Amino acid sequence: MWTEKEKMKDKRNRYLKPEFKRLFIERNIQVIALMVTLGIITKIYHSVQTDKLCEIQKLLQDKYNTPNYEMINLLFILSYKEINIDEFKHLIRKYNDTKNIWALKTLSLFLQSYMNTHHLDYKLKQQICVLLEIEYKQGKC
C-alpha cells in the first residue's frame, strides 16, 4: 500500500518526465502558432476588407494558389458572397490530400466562428458540420 505522500510524489514525477515535458511544450507551441496564423490572416483581411476587392482577391488566389490566399478569399466569401458549400468541400479535400493540418484547422475555426455569429438555415449548418466532422445539434448553435 502506498501512503498519500508516496502517491503525490509519484504523480509529480510522472509530470516531470522528459517525454511529458516535451509533449506539453510541443502542444503549446502548436496552439500559439495556430493563433498567430489566425491573427495574421484576419489582420490582412481586415486591412483590405471591401467588397470592391472580392474579384481582385480571387485573381490573387488563382495566381498564387497558397492556403494563405485561400483563407483570405474564404473570409471575403463569408463576408460578401453567397456561401457555396462546394468551395468548402474542395478546400477540405485539397488540404486532406496534402495533409495540411494547419490549413484544415484554420478553415475549421473560421467556419465555426462564422456559424456561431451568423444566422444560417439548418440545412447549411448541418452540411458545414458534416464537412468539418463535428456534431451539430439543432438549437445549440
- What integer pLDDT is reported at residue 50 of this predicted model? 83
For the full predicted model, state whether its pTM sits above 0.85: no
Residue 141, pLDDT above cutoff 50: no
Residue 140 is placed in which grid cell?
445549440
The model's pLDDT over 66-119, given as tens digits with 9 standing for 90+, comes to 898 899 989 988 888 888 899 899 999 999 999 999 999 999 999 999 998 988
Mean pLDDT, rounded, for 53-73: 87
Residue 24, pLDDT above cutoff 90: no
